[in-house]
């Protein structure tokens, strides 16, 4: 962990913050003046490079590690953020994995691995956030618009992300009286390594043409929605925000 002093800025912890959508979220919130905790599971170098980029621009950031599905490791990560910055205002959970296969063919070990990260990991992060986020704060999960498009080969992944949405919807009601919003952003096809892996050019072009805007989303498109929910959107609570360019 990189050390920085306590801060009077609003503080955000972004899981999976070293790459893809998570990195774009970190950069967007840093531009909004947040102090950032960049969480990583395996790529310490990328997380620390992002921290150095933020601090070089005059911001505040630390890197924290941990398996999102391990309550002890994530408890330690939340502890590190509170020690460095004095508290936590916003938690954004972008960490997730995707394995695609028809239901009839999916390796059940892949099912277990995906559900451990996407469901248990979301639950562990949400549990810690529910206990620690300060009044006026926000908890934001990342799901997928495929929960309502029923694409073949996405069955197991969609099952895990539907659970992510349900966790957030219920947690929003459980936090009544604490002035903490809980929402989910559900992106459409976004040009990240997670989405592009294993897809040929024709498949990618098909997804790009599926939206009225006729392009893939960019990580920064999703980051804009997250920034809205993390900041001014205090009357948006217990919702799923489909950030997908109009994907049906």
How far lies 141's CA from each of 149, 171, 214, in Å?
19, 11, 26
* Total residues belonging to the chain: 248
Measured in degrees and rounded to the nearest 5, phi and psi for residue 158 equal -65, -40
User: What is the rounded CA–CA span in Å between residue 57 and residue 31?
Assistant: 10
Helices (H), the chain: 20-31, 44-56, 71-85, 108-115, 121-132, 155-174, 193-196, 201-209, 219-230
Instruction: Verify whether residue 157 is a known catalytic residue.
Output: yes
Name the token pair of 61: 């950031």
User: What is the rounded CA–CA span in Å between residue 148 and residue 247?
Assistant: 10
How far lies 32's CA from each of 3, 12, 64, 183, 231, in Å?
21, 11, 21, 19, 9
| Active-site entry in 40, 154, 157, 242 | 157
Measured in degrees and rounded to the nearest 5, phi and psi for residue 60 equal -125, 135
- Residues marked active site are found at 157
């Amino acid at each position: 962990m990189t050390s920085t002093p306590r801060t009077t800025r609003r503080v955000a912890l972004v899981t999976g913050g070293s790459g893809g959508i998570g990195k774009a979220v970190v950069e967007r919130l840093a531009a909004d003046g947040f102090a950032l905790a960049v969480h990583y599971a395996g790529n310490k170098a990328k997380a620390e490079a992002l921290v150095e980029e933020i601090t070089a621009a005059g911001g505040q950031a630390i890197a924290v590690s941990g398996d999102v599905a391990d309550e002890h490791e994530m408890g330690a990560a939340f502890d590190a953020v509170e020690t460095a910055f004095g508290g936590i205002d916003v938690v954004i959970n972008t960490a997730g994995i995707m394995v695609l296969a028809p239901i009839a063919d999916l390796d059940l070990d892949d099912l277990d691995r995906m559900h451990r990260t996407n469901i248990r990991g979301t639950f562990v992060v949400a549990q810690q956030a529910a206990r620690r986020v300060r009044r006026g704060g926000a908890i934001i999960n990342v799901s997928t618009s495929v929960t309502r498009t029923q694409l073949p080969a996405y069955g197991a992944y969609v099952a895990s992300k539907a659970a992510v949405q349900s966790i957030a919807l219920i947690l929003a009601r459980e936090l009544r009286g604490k002035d903490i919003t809980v929402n989910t952003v559900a992106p459409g096809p976004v040009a990240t390594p997670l989405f592009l892996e294993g897809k040929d050019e024709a498949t990618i072009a098909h997804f790009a043409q599926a939206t009225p805007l006729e392009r893939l989303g960019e990580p920064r498109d999703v980051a804009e929605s997250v920034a809205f929910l993390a900041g001014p959107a205090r009357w948006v609570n217990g919702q799923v925000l489909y950030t997908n360019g109009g994907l049906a």
